[in-house]
Chain A
Amino acid sequence: MKNEIHIFLFEIRRHLRSRRTVVGACVLVLFYLFWISHSLRIRTFEQGTMTTMTYFVARSLYEGRVILTLARDPLLLLFVVCTPLLFGATTVAGHRDTGALRLLQSLPYSRWTVFVGLVAARVAMISAIVCLLMMGALLETWRQGVPFSPVHFAGYTAVLLAVTTTLVVIGAAISTRATSRRRAYTSSLLFGLLILFVYGPLQAFRPEAILLTPRAVYYALVAGIDINWATTFQEQPSQYRLDSVYHYTEVAVLSLCAWLLCAMAAGLYSYRSIDITTS
């Protein structure tokens, strides 16, 4: 574990000194903060209604408004899915492209250690970005005078951290098979789009399997923050409203864990078997 921490700390230091990483993170945070501010300003829901949430039944809609606005925002959904995937995509491919992976792996570190250390550093970086973003959102909410629940905010931050962590690991697993940075980005982006768009058809034709998709898992976890939010994400009127699939928070957690573990195992297996040559 000591070696993994060494690599983790070294990577964090490298990221913090990398102009590209710092500028990229700042641009991302500022852009989404601007977007969040914009979203909160234009949406003025009356108590008991929410434009696209016909079947939403909540006792405290006003308090849930901020989080649900964020959770249902398509652009933020793109951030939640694609940013961590792309961030994870350079874990191995980026290092391989620069030749730094050969340097690191020529030292007496096992492949397991290097992979875990690199992935952990990426997870820490994306987590820092998420926390910054949520702190910014909190400040903006407070500045605009929109009532909010700290519990909802904390819950949503935890959901974002869990989902982005899993997606970073998936991106890293994809990265091990990519022979160049560009291919890693392309593959991860395609996977991200697949995650986003497979959700619709699956909800229409096989709703019972929907919690296998990360997008539905994300919705279910958000719904798990407040028991009244379960039907918020239901596309069609639920026959059994209280039996909405988004009620199954435990299943969503299990599904997310399965994605995380499978991605980690696949990434490790793949990384152990690849040739670390310069691309």
Chain B
Amino acid sequence: MTLAIETERLTKRFGSVTAIDDLSLSVPSGTVYGYLGPNGAGKSTTIDILLDLVRPSDGTARVFGYDTQASPVAAREQIGVLLDGFKPYPAITGREHVELAATARGVSTDPATVLARVGLEHAVDQPAGEYSKGMTKRLGLAMALVGDPDLLILDEPSTGLDPHGIVTMRELIRTEVDRGATVFFSSHLLDQVEAVADRVAIINDGSLLVEDSVESLKSELEDGTTVKIRIEDPASDQLPELQANIDPLETVNSVRIEGRTLIARCRSQAATATVVSAVEESQAAIDTYEVEQPSLEDIFKTHTDGDE
């Protein structure tokens, strides 16, 4: 398996503050990799190190095998990047920004076509200083797409975008992955990450907390799946009795009653079947039945103690 990004014991200290602490990360090529963490967790610093904007205090980082310190230009040739807080040159037009990226990459491209991909076809020759926040973000994305890079790094790509822009961004990510590119992106909008990411890593205080596929993380989450069973015309003692029967089950973490509804938090999706069976065995009539999967937000909160 080819690794698009590989970091080994990466550490970065800014004076007495440790932004990245002993971070080892492997991003397989051809995947959409979500990089999550609370504010100040070290996400942008990791990206800065991959781009050689920031020098690590210790450890190494490689992009498609190129050491970002020893061969920064070769590494950056593989990368198209949208930086967090991307700021263009105010007096330079969108077309010229794209041309700058194309010249740097040594490729010839039609700036109008690239800008049209991100929905900026109407502002090709407009100075970037006149762009709105969302348009600026799209311009940054257009520059990142120039030359079809093998690795697309997007730092908080959804910030400042309207819903339409977010949909465009998601479609672009999918298009790029279909082309064979790897997409590494950080975001606070967990539903966005969940919608496109194959794998995610969660960091906090500069340390990697967990790294796996989204599905694996969900399945490993204790209290992961919740089943809500609404009972049709229950007898007065039927629900407490059900609760007493289900509570001792090994696969069930907790069970409570809300009105006519029995809510059980199970350790896995498979465990919900046990709860349903228990209800059916008690001769209770099931009115409605609903299973809620854990969200990425649940995973995130579990690993970061919700201290964002």
Contacts and interface: CB of A to CB of B under 8 A. Distances in A.
Interface of A: 3, 6, 10, 13-14, 17-19, 98-100, 102-103, 105-111, 273, 275-278
A99 B54 CA distance: 14
B53 A105 contact: yes
A17 B96 CA distance: 13
B51 interface: yes
A109 B92 contact: no
Contacts of B96: 13
Contact of A109 (B53, B87, B88, B104): B104
Contacts of A17: 91-92, 127
B245 interface: no
A100 B54 contact: no
B85 A6 contact: no
Contact of B105 (A14, A102, A108, A277): A108
A105 B68 CA distance: 13
Contact of B88 (A13, A103, A273): A103
A-B pairs with the 8 shortest C-beta distances? A99-B87, A17-B91, A107-B104, A108-B76, A276-B53, A275-B54, A108-B77, A106-B81
Interface in B57-94: 72-73, 76-77, 79, 81, 83, 85-89, 91-92
A116 to B, nearest CB: 14
A98 B88 CA distance: 9
Nearest to A16: B91
Contacts of A13: 92, 96
15 contacts: A13-B92, A13-B96, A14-B91, A100-B87, A102-B53, A102-B83, A103-B83, A106-B51, A106-B53, A107-B104, A108-B73, A108-B104, A108-B105, A109-B73, A273-B55
A103 B81 CA distance: 9
B83 A106 contact: yes
A102 B77 CA distance: 16
B215 interface: no
A105 to B, nearest CB: 6
Nearest to A105: B53
Tell me the interface secondary structure of chain A in the complex: helix
Interface of B: 14, 48, 51-55, 72-73, 76-77, 79, 81, 83, 85-89, 91-92, 96, 100-101, 103-105, 127, 143
Contacts of B89: 14, 100, 103
A176 B86 CA distance: 21
A52 B127 CA distance: 53
Contacts of B73: 108-110
Contacts of A18: 91
Contact of A107 (B48, B76, B86, B91): B76
A28 to B, nearest CB: 20
Contacts of A109: 73, 104
Nearest to B48: A277
A273 to B, nearest CB: 7
Nearest to A109: B104
